Amino acid sequence: MNRTSTMTDIYAEALPDARNSKKSSKRHSQLKESNPLPGSFEIAKRPETHRQIRRTRGNERADDFPEGERMSKTATVADHLAERLIEWGVDTIFGFPGDGINGIFEALRTRQDKLRFIQVRHEEAAAFAACGYAKYTGRLGVCLATSGPGGIHLLNGLYDARCDGQPVLAITGHTFHDLIGTHYQQDVDLDKLFMDVAAYNQRVMGPAHVIAVVDEAIKTSLTRRTVSHITIPKDIQEWTKSDDERSSANIVNHSGDLFAAPHPVPPEELLKRAADLINKGSRVVMLIGRGCLNAREEVLALAEAVGAPVVKALLGKAAIPDRNPYAIGGTGLLGTAPAQDALQECDTLIIAGSGFPYMEFYPKPGKAKTVQIDLDPARIGLRHAAEVGLIGDCRTVLQALQPLIERKKDRSFLEKAQKSMTAWNELMEKRGTRSDMPMKPQVVTWHLNKLLDSDAIVSSDSGTIATWSARYIEIRDRMQFSLSGSLATMGNGLPYSIGAAVAYPGRQVVCVVGDGGLTMLLGEIATLVKYKLPVKVIVIKNNVLGEIKWEQMAQEGNPQFGVELQPIDFAGYARCCGAAGFTIEDPKDAESILRQALAHPGPAVVEAVVDPNEPPLPGNISGEEALKFVEAMAKGEKDRWKIIKTILQDKIREVI
């Protein structure tokens, strides 16, 4: 290949050490460091002329063909698929083999110097890993699965990508093209099954079709930040090119491998309206989400100008450091009391790049004037009524808005929030340094936080573990953090970390997961060992599906049921797979064992045995939640006295 530029130039806003892998190809040296964090795309220069190959087809010149078509007539559909992916800058594919994709695997086998295949133990993990890869790099994530059950297994991870707005391409096999619909083995119509999850969803019909389909799929995923799906019947994967396969309407070289990212700026009139509204407000709050991950400087500049406390939706946790004086934590059930108080007391709200779903945590309707910034016009006013909507990338829009903002002299609202945040941090320290037995789960994340590198990548699973991660893992410098946001699925944490470790081989990668979530894709510990990925898996083991347990009690007023788990020796399992295994049971050992595990050169699992009756208390407890909790106790919750004792101890410590 002799291209001087690839799609890598467009969608890599990854940090410099994303390119330090010894396995990386030469083109990695061409990555652009346009943004400190993933979140937006840049337009690449058009490549120079394609490599000249002296081959003609009829009256057409050989150099009229795209690189993906300039191959011998014995090149298969799978060959053209692989070459086109390479031309788009794809270098990593997560997947699991199967006979329905044997043709594609042969194309991957013969291109191992350019396309790296990461074999996971379950297709769901492949989709999660591709989603995590996209989240942490800003690049296209790619996953691959066989026909029938293989493709079906991808769905949960793909819905995670779609719900959180991540560009992921799924490639699947299909049964023989002339046996589709005849009840043949693994005859699942995947292009129909994927109609909801994939914005672009096509079946490849032959050699002359594949390149245009790949181009459209990738451009759709990048443009809409969503999922695309290509399925190729087993026999078609091995079809080769011939002159008469192309229809007269299918003009050679009509499809290009160029993605032109939009960078719209709202009209001056709208920017002025937004600025006027913000300038008139006396109690301004910013609510930021994943759309601000590449806009740290712009967010902090606006917060400083208007004296605004910054509340972070969890997908936007890494946008600004948690100890920044303008940061007051997250919102929702896993958020902080200062953030919730600020949202309820503000008279002006700026929502930037967030689709935080829980409307009960926003200011009451009519109480706060709102400016919303989002890439998608359909998202304006979706959760909270907005007076002004600004369409565009948060970084670009905030830069355009900043010159129109007047600096506020009155900082009393900000200072009140900062004082509350200081008290909140002191409370978190008290809870995180408790020495009573059984060990409290927050003790683990409290000590882990102190040991993380300034550029660590932390993936959290869903459930109560998300609370401990959100409150105790503090973003510093170039750290990155993510979890399953809108879908809130279990099982994502470990595969996300696989994607992160593959993309950033020189960085500390940590997965914080509960025993319920880890069990779902426990086989991926073997994936870490197979590829020598030094991920550190911190499993909070309470032998219960904690989040569901507390929801049954605090939201439904019922005793827990069906949530207890059979204990597993996770440290022993890790050692059986070839990873290191550690166990923490006593709080006094937490820091030393975590330090030892993090220093281990390879993959490691830390099993932290914790109190199952420690509730993930919300920042502010509502009267309804308290009432439902009392109802659950009255109905005969078997652990009611242990739970009540734990809650009383927590509240007493707050007072003391």
The four Cα atoms 47, 48, 53, 59 give a dihedral, to 10 degrees, of: 90
Give residue 50's pLDDT band: very low, low, confident or very high (50, 70, 90).
Answer: very low
196 and 316, same structural domain? no
Longest dimension (CA), the chain: 87
511 and 397, same structural domain? no
401 and 311, same structural domain? yes
Flag whether 376 is in a domain.
yes
Calculate what percentage of the chain has a pLDDT beyond 70.
82
113 and 81, same structural domain? yes
Give residue 352's pLDDT band: very low, low, confident or very high (50, 70, 90).
Answer: very high
Indicate the range of 10-14, 70-74, 468-472, 586-590 predicted with least confidence: 10-14
Flag whether 257 is in a domain.
no
Give how far Cα 347 sits from Cα of 144, 362, 366, 472, Å: 49, 12, 9, 29
From 418, 450, 474, give the residue that closes a domain: 418
Q: pTM, whole model, 2 decimals? A: 0.86
Flag whether 590 is in a domain.
yes
469 and 327, same structural domain? no
Higher pLDDT, 185 or 127: 127
Closest CA to 417 of 342, 360, 348, 343: 342
Range of the domain at 287: 280-418
598 and 496, same structural domain? yes
542 and 512, same structural domain? yes
- The tally of domains found in the chain comes to 3
Give residue 651's pLDDT band: very low, low, confident or very high (50, 70, 90).
Answer: very low
Q: What would the pLDDT profile of 526-566 be if each residue is shown by its tens digit?
A: 999 999 999 999 999 999 998 888 888 877 788 889 999 99
Buried b (16+ CB within 10 A) or exposed e, 494-533: bbbbbbbbbbbbebbbbbbbbbbbbbbbbebbbbbebbeb
What does the pLDDT read at residue 102? 97
Could you give the CA distance from residue 89 to residue 110 in angstroms, rounded to a whole number? 17
Q: Measure CA 127 to chain center.
A: 11
Q: Measure CA 341 to chain center.
A: 28
325 and 221, same structural domain? no
Amino acid at 259: F
Could you give the CA distance from residue 383 to residue 370 in angstroms, rounded to a whole number? 11
Could you give the CA distance from residue 221 to residue 90 in angstroms, rounded to a whole number? 13
Measured in degrees and rounded to the nearest 5, phi and psi for residue 45 equal -70, 150
Mean per-residue pLDDT, 74-103: 96
What does the pLDDT read at residue 52? 27
Residue 41 has pLDDT above 70, yes or no: no
Indicate the range of 29-43, 96-110, 188-202, 573-587 predicted with least confidence: 29-43
Give the CATH number of the domain where residue 548 resides.
3.40.50.970
Flag whether 428 is in a domain.
no
Give the CATH number of the domain where residue 331 resides.
3.40.50.1220
From 197, 219, 245, give the residue that closes a domain: 245
From 418, 445, 468, give the residue that closes a domain: 418
Contacts of 358 (CB under 8 A, 6+ apart): 331, 332, 333
Mean per-residue pLDDT, 628-652: 56
Flag whether 437 is in a domain.
yes
What does the pLDDT read at residue 357? 92
Flag whether 271 is in a domain.
no
Give residue 136's pLDDT band: very low, low, confident or very high (50, 70, 90).
Answer: very high
Buried b (16+ CB within 10 A) or exposed e, 310-322: bbbbbbbbbbbbb
